[in-house]
Every structure is written in structure tokens, then in C-alpha cells.
Structure 1
Amino acid sequence: MTVVLQRLLDRSIKNMGSGMNSVVKASALEMIKRAYKEGIYAQISAGYRSMEEQAALFGQGRFFSYKGKNYSNLSKPKVTNALPGQSFHNFGVAVDYFLVSDDGKNALWTINTKWKRVAAIGKELGFKWGGDWTGFKDYPHLEMTGGLTYSQMNAGKKPSLSLKFNTENETVVTVPPKTEVASEVSKDPSKNKGKGDATIVSIQKTLNSRYKAGLIVDGINGPKTKSSLIKALQTELNKQFNKRLVVDGKWGAKTKAAIVTVQKGAKGNLTWILQAALYTEGYNPGSLDSIFGKGTESALSKFQKAKRITADKKAGKGTFTELFAD
């Protein structure tokens, strides 16, 4: 039995976690899809890693404290020499991958022609591969930094990245090779029909019906969905607060300046946009019901803490900037 593509994509999305750069995330998923078409089954094992998670990794096999907390774990061997802020994983612009067996049940770590072919596909999509490094070779590692250094990213600068493929004609192909049997097909009907995440499908449908976004409803959380959410935000700011913004789907100084604070008790389209944006970043508000309740407040608080901005449970300029700025 051959593993279904959607299973590899779902696992990879989960393993990448929240905080991923949208271009890097979409490109990693595209790499998996292209490899699958060639009969190579790849999966992402890691993506975004918080500073605290990096501290825990660095603390393995050595004495180490970070921000007053002890992360020493001498019972485990050393696994990294990268301090917090010295890994591109900390900024959501790097992923690690591995291969899986045909049935998707076993991880394969042999660096063979298939492994190198996945790396080549990744490089075609704009990644740099750790296997090309002249010193220590990190064969699972792929990164897309836009030429920025750790210091620049630690200072808050974000890379300017763009997709190397046309998303308009891309769909999630869940039909496996002919050796696939019915028992391997996902029981989720939305996935069996070539759809991705059901909530992303709902977000895309709402953007299409409410704002005429013209999105392909594929359930894939990509840059076009994000741009459409920005357009929706700009539209609502113009309509409700007479802001006179250009509705271009781009986050800039004028859009940031026009932001109004959305907080608990708020209802309507702005709240829905906040809920949808939080979900696309990996923070599930529980329901996209356009009502700022406990679920939205909890998701917002977690997002703010992860982004190290004031966790006041109110969505203002800082929060929307973290949600939408590239």
C-alpha cells in the first residue's frame, strides 16, 4: 500500500508548526508534492522552533541557562551548536526533511539518490540545502533566508521572499499510484476530494463570497490566502472607518496606521478576519464565528506571547503587523 500524498502534507504541516514564513511553508509543501509525482515520499520533520525550544536543544549534553532558566540536560548527547537566535528555524525560514517508506510507516535516513533528488527539487523552489555546505553537512536541512543573517533577523528584519512556482494552477493531488487500496484513503471527505485543511477551505470560500477574492479553494494556506485576508481587512477599514486605503493586499505603513483595536466582545467582519488570520498562523480560536469570545482571546494571547509582543489580549497595530507583515 502506498502512502497518500495528503497524509504526508498533513504530517508536514503539523511538524512545521506555527510561526513559519508563508513562502517557506508553501514551498516546502510544493517540494513534497513534486517529489511524490516522481515516486519519492518525503516529509517535513521540523520547521519553526521557538527560542526556548532552541535553548532546550542546545542544553542537551551541556550546562546552559537562557533568560534565567536552566536548560541543562547532561543525560542526553549534544545535538546542536546553535544558540537561541542562531538557527534559521527560530525565524520560520528553515525546514528539515526525511524520506518515508512506501507505506508511510517508517522513516528512511539513508542519503541516497532519492534524498538528493528531493534536495534538488527544493533548490529549484528557492531553498539552500545543508548538504551543499563545505564544512559540516546538514543533509536534512533546507533554508530560505533572502540573504539575511541571524543578526539581522534577531533585530526584527524579515526576508523578502517570493514563490518560485505558479499557485494558480497548483492543486493538492491526493490520488495515489495505482497500487493504492481503498483502506488507505483518508476518511475525511474533504481530503479525499483533493481539499486540504477544512477550515482553510472555509476561510477561502468566505473570502470569495464576501470579498470576491477569486481564490482557488484548495485548503492550502498560501500567500494568496494571506493577501486576500489583508484585502478584506483594508476593505473593512475603509467601509467601517472611512480610512481610504488602497485595497491591494499588501501590508504597509498606511494599512498599519489605519488599524483599529479589536478586543473581547467585538463582533462582525473585523473579528472574523482576526480569527481567520490567527488560524492561518497556527492559533485556533475554536470557531470562526465573528464573535470575540474566550477562544479568540486565548488564541490571541498565545500568539502574542509567541511573537514576544504585549500579551494584552487585544488585537492592535502590533498584533496585526505580526499576523500580516512579511
Structure 2
Amino acid sequence: MITIETLKQRSLDKMGNVQTIVQEKVWKMIEQSYTEGIFVQISSGHRTHEEQARLYGQGRPDYYWNGKRYGHSGNIVTYATPGKSNHHSGRAVDFFLVSSDGRKALWTVNQDWRKVADIAKSLGFQWGGDWSSFKDYAHLEWPEKSQDVRDLQTKLRRLGYEPGPIDGLYGPRTKQAVITFQHQEGLEVDGSAGPLTKNRLNARTYPGNPIYFGAKGSVVKRIQRAVGIADDGHFGPLTEAAVCTFQQQHRLEVDGVVGPRTWRKMFGNRHPS
């Protein structure tokens, strides 16, 4: 039977210069799968732009990049052009299974394959088999951690969605919050926070603190317009009563306070900014 050490060495030869955290998690995935009697290898890791061009060219015979023809016959295996793949940053790897003696590659997406994907996801990877459009069953990706993602998570939470911890990682809970937001807003539902989603999110973002009796300013005027009263910018008794009526009509907690859920209902896709 093939050893863990052999699986790791073969994988190391294919991964190249991936991020340290990715390599550490891959080792754990191989080890945990091995205890289940499943033998996993990595087929690809870090890629140059030229390597990505060759992959993108498969199934696109007329594809040229930087003046050179990279297109060739075969089945399409990726939709990421050079410079657009997460393999460039060392955050992504592709895997496959091998027979117990290590001599045969196994590419059937069966129960064992999905078990490996579940193990990888439990370690923090995102799996291409979960993608809603083009499914890449061999693909594992470590979430990007950035201030932009933290900002996205903060805005989603202010609107009453549940993106998980504000940690800068675009993980499953953040993606689901984006999907819920896109569905609510009538946007294309793909789980990706692209320009259209970000622009809509910026327009809808809750100010961060509840707006209630005594508040003044442009935000109050916006609320008044949403509930159909004169926009004098002063949150007085009339505004409070109108907010209560709005909440009652939309089956929200009736407290006269514009918190995240009331704000989201006021300024959803049926209420342009």
C-alpha cells in the first residue's frame, strides 16, 4: 500500500510555491483521508501565467495570449484567464485520488471524492464542487484574508445579514450572506461580491447605530421619504408613528426605531437610493 510519505512527496512536487498555510492544511487533508482509507494527491498548486494560459487554452483552439497561441483541443477545464486564477497567489490546489498501490489515478467524483472535499472544507478550504455555475470538483481554495473582506462583512452585518466573524476571510458564512443579499436585491445570485453587488451594498449600508426619536439630518430625511411623510429631517412623533406603521405592515418588531432589519426592509431593491 502506498505510504503517506509518498503521497506527500508526490504532492509537494506538484504544488510548488503555495502559501505555508495551504501546504499545512493539505498535509492534514492527506493524513485524515488516509485514516479513512482514501489516498489523495495534489495535481497542481502554484501556477505561472503561462501555465494558466495553457490550461485556459484547452478546449479553446483559437486562444492566443501575449501574441502566442495557447489554444488546443480537449475539454474546457477552467474559466480563469492568466492573471485571474487564485493559483497564481498560491492559495489554490487541485487534487485527485489514487488506488491503494498508488499506481492508478482515480478521477471519478464518488463518495470517497466527496469525503475528501468534506475533510478539506472542515480544515477551512473552499471546494470548487460547491460552485453554482462551472463546477471544478478537483479545486480547493484557501479563502483570501483582506481588509476589503472585513469591510464587506461589516456592511453585511449592519444590514442584518449574518456573515460570521469579522475576520477578513471570505468563508462559507460570508458567501451565504452575499447570496442572501443578492437574492433580496434582485441581483445575479453567484455568491461573488463583484462590482454590482458592492455598489448596491454601499447604497444600502446601515449607518451603524439605530435611528430613533430625536435624531436629525439627511439619514432621517431618507427614512421619512421611505415611510411617506414630509422629509424635514427631524425624527419627531410623526416620524416615529410612521416608522411603527411601516414595521407593523412588514411584520417587524414594532418599536419605532430604525435598526438593521427595518433599514434593510426600507431600502431593499424596491426602494432605490
Give the structure-1-normalised TM-score: 0.43
Q: Among residues 16, 23, 26, which one is paired with 1:25 in the alignment?
A: 23
**Map 1:237-248 → 2, pairs under 5 A:** none
Aligned to 2:78: 80
1:32, 1:43 within 8 Å by CA — same for their partners in 2? yes
Q: What SS is found at the alignment partner of 2:113?
A: helix
Find runs of 4+ consecutive structure 1 residues off by over 6 angstroms: none
**Structure 1 gap ranges (5+):** 149-158, 162-326
Aligned to 2:63: 64
Give the Cα–Cα distance (whole angstroms) in 1 for the partners of residues 6 and 133 of structure 2. Answer: 35
Pairwise CA distance, 1:160: 7.3
| Alignment-derived partner of residue 114 in structure 1 | 112
Q: Residue 89 of structure 1: which of 87, 90, 101 is its match?
A: 87
Equivalent residue pairs, number: 149
Which residue in the other structure is 1:216 paired with? none
Other structure's SS at 2:70 match: coil
Paired residue for 2:7?
8
SS at match of 1:88: coil
Opposite residue 107 of structure 2, the aligned amino acid is W
Deviation for aligned residue 1:37: 1.4
Q: Is the 8 A contact 1:62 1:78 kept in 2?
A: no
Encode CA deviations 1:149-172: one digit per residue, 9 max, x unaligned.
xxxxxxxxxx978xxxxxxxxxxx
Match of 2:53 among 39, 55, 74: 55
Q: How far did residue 62 of structure 1 move?
A: 3.0
- Structure 2 CA distance for partners of 1:37 and 1:74, relative to 1, 3 Å: closer
Counterpart amino acid of residue 113 in structure 1: Q
The separation in 2 between residues aligned to 1:35 and 1:133, in whole angstroms, is 22
**C-alpha displacement of 1:110:** 1.4
- Aligned counterparts of 2:96 and 2:72: Cα–Cα separation in 1: 27
Deviation, structure 1 residue 81: 2.2
Counterpart for residue 36 of structure 1: 34
1:273-312 equivalent positions in 2, closer than 5 A: none
* Residue identity in the other structure for 1:32: I
Gaps in structure 2 of 5+ consecutive residues: 147-166, 170-273
**Offset at residue 122 of structure 1 (A):** 0.5
In the alignment, is the contact (CA less than 8 A) between 2:145 and 2:168 conserved in 1?
Answer: no
Residue 43 of structure 2 aligns to a residue in which SS? Answer: strand
Q: Partners in 1 of 2:75 and 2:110 — Cα distance?
A: 26
* One-letter identity of the residue aligned with 2:9: D
Separation in 2, partners of 1:31, 1:44: 11
Q: CA RMSD in A?
A: 2.3
Task: Give the greater-gyration-radius structure (CA).
Answer: 2
Tell me, yes or no, if the aligned pair for 1:20 and 1:47 is still in contact at 8 Å.
yes
Q: Secondary structure at the match of 1:103?
A: coil
Q: Does 1:127 align with 2:130?
A: no
Map of 2:184 onto structure 1? none
Give the secondary-structure state (helix, strand or coil) at the position aligned to 1:105: coil
Residues 1:101 and 1:66: Cα distance change in structure 2 (over 3 Å): same
Residues 200-211 of structure 1: matches in 2 within 5 Å? Answer: none
Tell whether the 8 Å contact from 2:64 to 2:71 is kept in structure 1 after alignment. no
Cα-to-partner distance string for 1:6-57 (whole Å, 9 max, x where unaligned): 000000000101x211101111111001111121111111111111111122
Q: Is the 8 A contact 1:20 1:93 kept in 2?
A: yes
8 A Cα contact 1:55 1:83, kept in partner: yes
Alpha-carbon distance, 1:126 to partner: 0.7
The change in CA–CA distance for 1:141 and 1:75 in structure 2 (over 3 A counts) is closer
Q: SS at 2:81's partner residue?
A: coil
The answer to whether residue 97 in structure 2 is matched with residue 99 in structure 1 is: yes
How far did residue 124 of structure 1 move? Answer: 1.1
* Aligned residue number for residue 142 of structure 2: 144
Contact 2:33 2:119 survives alignment (8 Å): yes
Verify the 8 A CA contact 2:43 2:96 in the aligned structure 1. Answer: yes
Give 3-state SS (helix, strand or coil) of 1:90's partner. Answer: coil
Conserved? CA contact 2:87–2:93, under 8 Å: yes
Deviations 1:180-233 (A, max 9, x none): xxxxxxxxxxxxxxxxxxxxxxxxxxxxxxxxxxxxxxxxxxxxxxxxxxxxxx
The answer as to whether partners of 2:97 and 2:113 remain within 8 angstroms in 1 is: yes
Preserved contact between residue 31 and residue 122 of structure 1 (Cα < 8 Å): yes
SS of corresponding position for 1:9: helix
In 1, are the aligned partners of 2:8 and 2:30 still within 8 Å (CA)? yes
Mapped to 2, the partners of 1:160 and 1:21 lie a distance apart of 17
SS class of match (2:136): coil
